[in-house]
Amino acid sequence: MPAHALRARFALVVLFALAMAGTRMSHFGSAALLPDASLAVFFLGGTLLRRWGYFVGLFLFAFAIDFFLAPGALERAWCLSPSYWGLVPSYGVLWLAGRMLAARGDAYPLAPSLAWAVGGVSTAFLASNLTWYWAGEPAGVAGFGAFWLAVARYYPPYLGSALVYLLPAWAGYRLARTRAPQTN
């Protein structure tokens, strides 16, 4: 791999790690905190980095953030619960969706990019919540139907927090492509 390509990959990994480190403390954001960028990071990682080794590294970094920077014992307990490991298939689905988008070619028009992103985020939402239901102990929820009614309200902010990062990333990519010199 040429040196400039290695530098570009390294820059992306650093950018993705910084995005997670700076936003992982709030799932959906607040007046003081940006929403968690992890969903977008794993989708974009699959699209731009593609190799599964990068996925493993970024996942381990996300785990380290959660484990070491969690503000209290309750939050750290979530990081050690069996349901936390549902993030592996959740983020893996996003990585795979990004890879599948990348396999379509280098143009990344908005409609297919958005379709792959929404599909990936939606599948990740399902995987994450199914794991939480089956491996965790959802308090105060009597049955599977009641559980889905309780978590369904989190889907719009879950999708929105990913799109907050993915849409500007897509626009930036398209702008960079239009300004880059065309090579044959």
Domain ranges for the chain, please list them: 3-179
Angle between helical axes of 110-135 and 38-48 (0-180°, round to 10)? 130
Predicted pLDDT of residue 60: 96
Model pLDDT for residues 130-177, shown as the tens digit of each residue? 887 777 665 556 677 877 887 888 999 999 999 999 999 999 988 887
Predicted pLDDT of residue 176: 83
Predicted pLDDT of residue 26: 54
Predicted pLDDT of residue 74: 64
pTM for the full model?
Answer: 0.87
